[in-house]
């Protein structure tokens, strides 16, 4: 199937299965944030923490509670497919979260090791909750820039530093939605024409792509989040049309 079949669509299904059907080097840029596997956690009997994780980090069709080795293998499979889909000028912006598990930090090197990580961007969030008294409150996440050899930023984009301050999205029904400014900055820093997010969630990457007049492809396992993403994209199109008519 040609890439035209996928353009400007939210594909509701398993991301690995969908990506395996897509042609080689068919997307220019991937911006994504997978489920973090946070419910596979060392809770030490902390009922408040368990209840909060279940409420805030539950997914309708993914329990986010895989054995760690299986989770790592799954994510490496996903990254391998993503690498196949981008050309020599492409890159993957892979947002993840470091965390402490059984007293030791997971810095996700077991996932990204061996892939061409060019840079780590720190996304500094605002506030948060910490139910564990063995470490300080985490207030940032990381974005691994996994880049092919000929990937370059647009002129002057390299003047932006590698610590980005964006307040987390608070109004979304999705438990871990991007703030819209994050994918907008990434996409706007490149000449990428086709943007893929294989963990589309509530559609933020697609909305950012539309705002920047780029084409998007979204993949999402949950039908509820697919509907949410489609609704957000429709609202974004209405907003853009209204802005256009207001300028006439």
For 92-104, write each residue's pLDDT tens digit. 999 999 988 888 9
For residue 217, pLDDT beyond 80: yes
Q: Is the pTM of this model over 0.85?
A: yes
pLDDT of residue 45: 41
Higher pLDDT, 206 or 102: 206
Long-range contacts (CB closer than 8 Å, 24 or more residues apart) made by 231-235: 232/202, 232/203, 232/204, 232/206, 232/207, 233/10, 233/203, 233/206, 233/207
Q: How far is residue 131's CA from residue 120's CA, in Å, rounded to a whole number? A: 27
Would you say how long the chain is, in residues? Answer: 248
For residue 218, pLDDT beyond 80: yes
CATH code at position 233: 3.40.50.150
Average pLDDT over residues 50-72: 68
148 torsion bin: left (phi>0), alpha (psi -120 to 50), beta (else): beta
Per the structure, the count of domains in the chain is 1
Average pLDDT over residues 197-218: 97
Average pLDDT over residues 220-234: 95
The continuous run of DSSP H or E covering 237 comes out as helix 223-246
Q: How far is residue 151's CA from residue 167's CA, in Å, rounded to a whole number? A: 28
For residue 52, pLDDT beyond 50: no
Average pLDDT over residues 132-137: 88
Distance of CA 8 to the CA centre of its chain: 17
pLDDT of residue 100: 86
Q: What is the CA radius of gyration of the chain?
A: 18
pLDDT of residue 245: 57
Average pLDDT over residues 13-41: 94
Tokens describing residue 88: 């020599």
> Which candidate, 96, 105, 104, places its Cα nearest to that of 75?
96
Instruction: Tell me the average pLDDT of the chain.
Output: 88
Whether 201 contacts 177, CB under 8 Å: yes
How far from 68 is each of 37, 74, 132, 243, CA to CA, in Å? 8, 10, 20, 47
Place of tokens 């006439």: 248
Domain that holds residue 155: 3-246
């Amino acid at each position: 199937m040609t890439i035209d079949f996928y353009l400007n669509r939210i594909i509701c299904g398993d991301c690995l299965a969908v990506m395996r059907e897509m042609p080689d080097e068919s997307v220019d840029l991937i911006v994504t944030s997978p489920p973090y596997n946070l419910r596979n956690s060392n809770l030490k009997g902390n009922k408040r923490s368990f209840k909060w994780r279940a409420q805030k980090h539950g997914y309708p069709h993914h329990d986010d509670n895989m054995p760690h080795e299986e989770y790592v293998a799954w994510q490496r499979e996903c990254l391998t497919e993503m690498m196949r889909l981008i050309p020599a000028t492409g890159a993957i912006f892979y947002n993840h979260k470091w965390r402490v598990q059984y007293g030791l930090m997971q810095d996700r090197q077991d996932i990204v090791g061996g892939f061409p990580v060019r840079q780590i961007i720190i996304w500094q969030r605002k506030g948060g909750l910490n139910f564990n008294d063995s470490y300080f409150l985490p207030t940032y996440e990381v974005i691994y820039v996994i880049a092919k050899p000929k990937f370059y930023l647009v002129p002057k984009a390299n003047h932006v530093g590698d610590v980005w301050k964006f307040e987390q999205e608070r109004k979304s029904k999705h438990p871990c939605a991007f703030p819209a400014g994050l994918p907008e900055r990434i996409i706007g820093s490149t000449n990428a024409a086709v943007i893929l997010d294989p963990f589309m969630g509530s559609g933020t990457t697609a909305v950012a792509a539309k705002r920047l007049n780029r084409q998007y492809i979204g993949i999402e396992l949950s039908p509820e989040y697919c509907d949410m993403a489609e609704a957000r994209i429709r609202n974004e199109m209405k907003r853009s049309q209204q802005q256009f008519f207001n300028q006439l």
